[in-house]
Amino acid sequence: MTARPDAAAFIAEVFDPGSWTCWDRPVRHDTAVFPGYRDVLDRARRDSGRDEAIVTGEGTIEGRPVAALVGEFGFLAGSVGVATARRIVATVRAATARGLPLLAAPVSGGTRMQEGTPAFVQMVAVSGAVAAHRAAGLPYLVYLRHPTTGGVFASWGSLGHVTMAEPGALVGFLGPRVCRLLTGEDLPEGVQTAEHLHEHGLVDAVLPLPEVRGYVHRALDVMCRPGPDVPRSPRVAPGAPMQAEAVWDAVERTRRPDRPGASDLLRIAATNVTPLSGSAEGEPSGPVTLALARFGDVACVVVAEDHARRDLPLGPAALRAARRGVRLAAELGLPLVTVVDTPGAELSAAAERGGLAGQIARTLHDMVTLPSPSLCVLLGEGCGGGALALLPADRVVATPDAWLSPLPPEGASAILYRTPDRAAELARRQRIGCANLYDDGIVDRVIPAPPDDPDAFVRRVGAVIADELRTLLPRPAAQRLTARRRRFDRIAFPAAVGE
């Protein structure tokens, strides 16, 4: 690690020049709890120039007001005592009351040992304040600095909608020295680094301090809710369904490795893309791509099955990552865009032990009950429960080659005829093709494909996404939820459900 930037250096690097206003109020410490504690505090004040291990306030990032909690390692290694926690809670509550996004930049060895259990249990109050901030639909971003351990990492350091970390930072529950003293063993080398956490889906990005400002700006440009009037642009003409379709040809085209996928959609057709990583529960997201993004003038959360990563298993961890994206859309009140493009869920003993079926069911539940507007894009392959999990949206649009089936056609053929050789026949009979999906009311709109121009097609898909979201945003949530449930009722019981 290079020299550790203090709180002042962090603020100067991330916030607009001259915009910072400090919210800190004088603190009172109970110095009777530990012998010599008063002298320890006095020395910490002199050494750090601070009165506590946290600096709080408000500034602007590219003109956007943002509240912040910035750790000061120079004050008793950033440890959290009762006064520290009170300052944190007061700041979080003030940010919530003012409707401000909140950026936390902890750097801490955890609970202050001189204050013991009374300081330790303050993490509950801090976590509660952050939970209330998130429940108010306000963004909470975290930048984990070197080092962040103990109760800080186990509370407000791990509750971000989006989490960044400093390159090479030591981040973990128990510091290596304490772990060695308590267990007599060393943790494996590198297991508590920011890079390792990113690899396992606990951190969304590893960024040096000069890049934090831009990342936060891009993320907040999507995460902060738009006003009641979303600017509208001319509608894209709805795509007409194909009158006739060679279903098996479409299936084979979607399996080509060179065709456009979700990564191309985000790269070509979206702006202000902020990739997210993993389930935030210690698991990578596999073939599922999570991102904050804009399509046209509409901000959204994207949960996409990525054709470019189809060789990775779509197992329980990938679905937990997808559910993280759905929760993010719900908490922030942002529209959700799902992209279905998968050869199917993982078929393995590990997936069974990991509760694959239960994760599909819970994803379906989350999608059906999501209060935010939702749009599903059938971009290519739509095989099995892994595809179905991301289907229940307010609107479903599809590309001409897209298909949706309970099994790969070869699997259906094997079940019915004990051979995969009748897959093409089964694909037609099972009504898996795009034209059938449109006729059956599963797909609302087909996106026409320009010939031999993949980039133009991807841009057209992006324009349709923006157009559909603009139409959905003004509708009341209760109306959308009712309509979402009824659309699938109409498919199941077309004669029993009225308009």
Q: At what angle do helices 356-369 and 316-332 cross, to 10 degrees?
A: 20
- Average pLDDT score over residue span 441-459: 89
d(C-alpha 319, C-alpha 356), whole Å: 8
Q: Could you tell me the pLDDT band of residue 244, with boundaries at 50, 70 and 90?
A: very low
Looking at every residue in the chain, the average pLDDT score rounds to: 90
pLDDT digits (tens, 9 = 90+) for 296-339: 999 999 999 999 998 898 999 999 999 999 999 999 999 999 99
Task: Examine the pLDDT at 218 and tell me if it is beyond 80.
Answer: yes
Task: Examine the pLDDT at 402 and tell me if it is beyond 60.
Answer: yes
Task: Examine the pLDDT at 242 and tell me if it is beyond 50.
Answer: no
Tokens of 193: 């680094």
pLDDT at 456: 94
3-state secondary structure of 446: strand
Contact 250, 400 (CB under 8 A): yes
Residues 6 or more apart whose CB falls under 8 angstroms from that of 345 comprise 314, 315, 351, 356, 360, 384, 385, 386
Q: Which of 1-5, 72-76, 373-377 has the lowest mean pLDDT?
A: 1-5
pLDDT at 497: 45
Phi, psi of 3 (to 5 degrees): -55, 135
pLDDT at 3: 64
- Average pLDDT score over residue span 220-224: 95
Q: What is the DSSP string of 82-93?
A: HHHHHHHHHHHH
pLDDT at 449: 79
pLDDT at 498: 46
C-alpha gyration radius of the chain = 25
pLDDT digits (tens, 9 = 90+) for 464-489: 999 999 999 999 999 998 888 888 77
Q: Which residue type, as a one-letter code, is found at position 54?
A: I
Task: Examine the pLDDT at 451 and tell me if it is beyond 70.
Answer: no
Task: Examine the pLDDT at 125 and tell me if it is beyond 90.
Answer: yes
- Average pLDDT score over residue span 36-54: 95
pLDDT digits (tens, 9 = 90+) for 334-377: 999 999 999 999 888 888 888 998 999 999 999 999 999 999 99
d(C-alpha 433, C-alpha 248), whole Å: 9
State pTM to two decimals.
0.88
pLDDT at 226: 60
Q: What is the DSSP string of 196-223?
A: HHHHTTS-SEE--HHHHHHHHHHHHHHH
pLDDT at 232: 47
Task: Examine the pLDDT at 238 and tell me if it is beyond 70.
Answer: no
Phi, psi of 89 (to 5 degrees): -60, -45
3-state secondary structure of 175: coil
User: Which stretch of DSSP H or E encloses residue 482?
Assistant: helix 477-492
- Average pLDDT score over residue span 240-260: 79
pLDDT at 227: 47
pLDDT digits (tens, 9 = 90+) for 185-206: 777 777 789 999 999 989 999 9
How many CA atoms are closer than 13 Å to the CA of 347, on its beta-carbon side?
A: 8
User: Which stretch of DSSP H or E encloses residue 349?
Assistant: helix 349-353
pLDDT at 182: 73
Phi, psi of 288 (to 5 degrees): -95, 125
Q: In the chain, what are the domains?
A: 7-223 (3.90.226.10), 247-492 (3.90.226.10)
Q: State what percent of residues in the chain have pLDDT above 70.
A: 92
pLDDT at 243: 41
Contact 385, 357 (CB under 8 A): yes
Tokens of 344: 């199917």
Instruction: Give me the residues paired with residue 80 across strands.
Output: 111
pLDDT at 231: 47
d(C-alpha 318, C-alpha 255), whole Å: 20
Handedness of CA 24, 30, 36, 39 (dihedral sign): positive
pLDDT digits (tens, 9 = 90+) for 137-183: 999 999 999 999 888 999 999 999 999 999 999 998 877 777 777 77
d(C-alpha 323, C-alpha 316), whole Å: 10
Q: Could you tell me the pLDDT band of residue 492, with boundaries at 50, 70 and 90?
A: low
d(C-alpha 274, C-alpha 163), whole Å: 11
Q: Could you tell me the pLDDT band of residue 499, with boundaries at 50, 70 and 90?
A: very low
